[in-house]
Amino acid sequence: MITAGVDAGNKFTKVVIIRDGEVISRDQLPSGFDRRQSAFKAFKRALSTAGLNEDDVQKVMATGAGRSEVDFAGGTVTEVGAAARGSIHVIPESRTVIDVGAEEGRALKMDETGKVLNFTISDKCAAGAGSFIEMMSQALEITPEEMGSLSLQAVQTVPMNAQCAVFAESEVISLIHSRVPKADIARSVFNAMAGRISSLVRRVGLNKELAMIGGMAKNPGFVRELEKDLDTKIFLTENPDFVSALGAALIAAEKIS
Amino acid sequence: MIANYGYKDGSGEFFISIDTAKCAQCEAKPCVEACPEKILVIFTDDYDDEVIGVKEEHRKKIKYSCGPCKPITEKRNLSCQKACPSGAIVHSW
């Protein structure tokens, strides 16, 4: 059985195609202005990689902020439902999941089947999402990836008090002018963001089987600060930004069977 | 499932928590009509249960949307909680 999941995110649209529960193709494109077109292009590219036609896919499920715009999908599932289903598949021992993408951070607790028991989302404040890191890396004149590895060399954390991304940027600029090393500023930014995400995790209830997905899971600096803040090891997986699309594809397969 | 709708910012935590297991048992869902600001909506969740949630457009301003039911100088009058027969709705503030 071949099914597909489309995660129409705020910044990137991800597509995963699975055959009998195994990933056979994945692709992603910037979501851009026309999410429907981006989703369809990514879907076609993923099909091409797998050597498949549209007719070979028995069901497509869409998730993500733009899921309602994916009109070629046969159904939709919430970001939380897809994240839980995908996480339990790739990290079976996980029971609490942190998902930090470009514009949203969310935390959820689930049972051993991937059914969501408790969830909370933070999409009001940009200081809890990946876009915040992009802004801060621009201020530091480095890439977000460089910021992640650089923060691991920091020797101190400077407390950042601003709750808002705009004011936080002012704080970062002040630190630059105060000649605080870039590595220390990078760690301080991740520390501030980790504090916001940790509060979401504590709201749903922290347990030791904690996994992280979403694009920010690829940032070692942020993951380390989050582990320190929550005082626990975080399970990671390859391709963490595709986990929700995988979850949608798995749910599509379950809807058929 | 406990669904938390709302946000945390510099002024505090503002979440409405809905116990969807309790909510799904209630067919009438009188809370939706009881809310004077009409912030609640009925929808079918990922597990095919008919439950209530907070409308998308209110989630980022819930502190203000719920403000009329929480006057500072008078007694709070949470119509949604009063109308809910199963105690499925909790406000964090």
**Residue A123: predicted pLDDT:** 67
Show the domain range for B13. Answer: 2-91
> CB A115 to CB B47 under 8 A?
yes
Query: Which residues in chain B are closer than 8 Å to A116, comparing Cβ atoms?
Result: 1, 46
The CATH number of residue B13's host domain is 3.30.70
* Contact (CB<8Å) B46/A163: no
Distance from CA of A115 to the nearest CA of B (A): 8
Q: What is the pLDDT of residues A157-167, one digit of tens each?
A: 998 876 677 78
| Mean pLDDT, chain A, whole residue set | 92
Rounded to two decimals, the ipTM of the complex is 0.83
H runs (alpha helix) in chain A = 35-50, 79-90, 130-139, 144-151, 165-177, 182-204, 220-230, 243-256
pLDDT tens readout for residues B46-70: 999 999 999 999 998 999 999 999 9
Contacts B4 to A, Cβ<8 Å: 118-121, 203-204
Count of the separate structural domains present in chain B: 1
Angle between helices A165-177 and A130-139 (to 10 degrees): 30
Domain annotation for chain A: domains and CATH numbers: 1-86+241-257 (3.30.420.40), 92-236 (3.30.420.40)
Whether B8 and A118 lie within 8 Å, measured CB to CB: no
CA distance B60 to B7: 6
